Amino acid sequence: MNIDREQFRKMFPNLAREIEGEGVKIRISSIRLDPVEGEKAVSKKFDGYNPDVIDFLRRCDTEEQAEEIIAYLERRGEVTSEYAAALRKQLKEKGVRSFGPKKEEAYYLRQAGYR
């Protein structure tokens, strides 16, 4: 499925803002001239970690945003129709916070100790 940038922004404004990095800031607390030493110092907590549908749902503020995420991942084949239906049922019956507390901006940076 091909979609142009403007159409994507209209369909998924919050996701587009997050992908395009508007307002995302990373604080640099030090500089290492030796790359080997720098790599040793980097936190490996999320090394190779790939967020799943629950991680994305925990960033949502509203049920509408959560439904957008579920529909998008279902269309892309990243969740099965059965799993998407179960997620929608949970969303409808228990609400968006039933997937866990909200993951705020820079969640992974804070968890890795960078903020």
Q: What is the pLDDT of residues 13-48, one digit of tens each?
A: 888 887 777 665 666 665 666 666 665 555 566 667
- Helices vs strands, H then E, count in the chain: 7, 0
Domain positions in the chain are 49-115
Q: Which residue in 93, 56, 49 sits closest to 71, CA to CA?
A: 56
The least confident of 50-54, 82-86, 91-95 is 50-54
User: pLDDT exceeding 70 applies to what percent of the chain?
Assistant: 69
Q: Compute φ and ψ for 40, nearest 5 degrees.
A: -65, -35
pLDDT greater at residue 91 or residue 3: 91
As a whole number, mean pLDDT of residues 70-89 equals 95
Q: Compute φ and ψ for 10, nearest 5 degrees.
A: -70, -40
* Residues 6 or more apart in contact with residue 3 via CB below 8 angstroms: 11
- Is pTM beyond 0.75? Reply is no
As a whole number, mean pLDDT of residues 84-98 equals 95
As a whole number, mean pLDDT of residues 51-55 equals 88
Q: What is the identity of the amino acid at 61? A: D
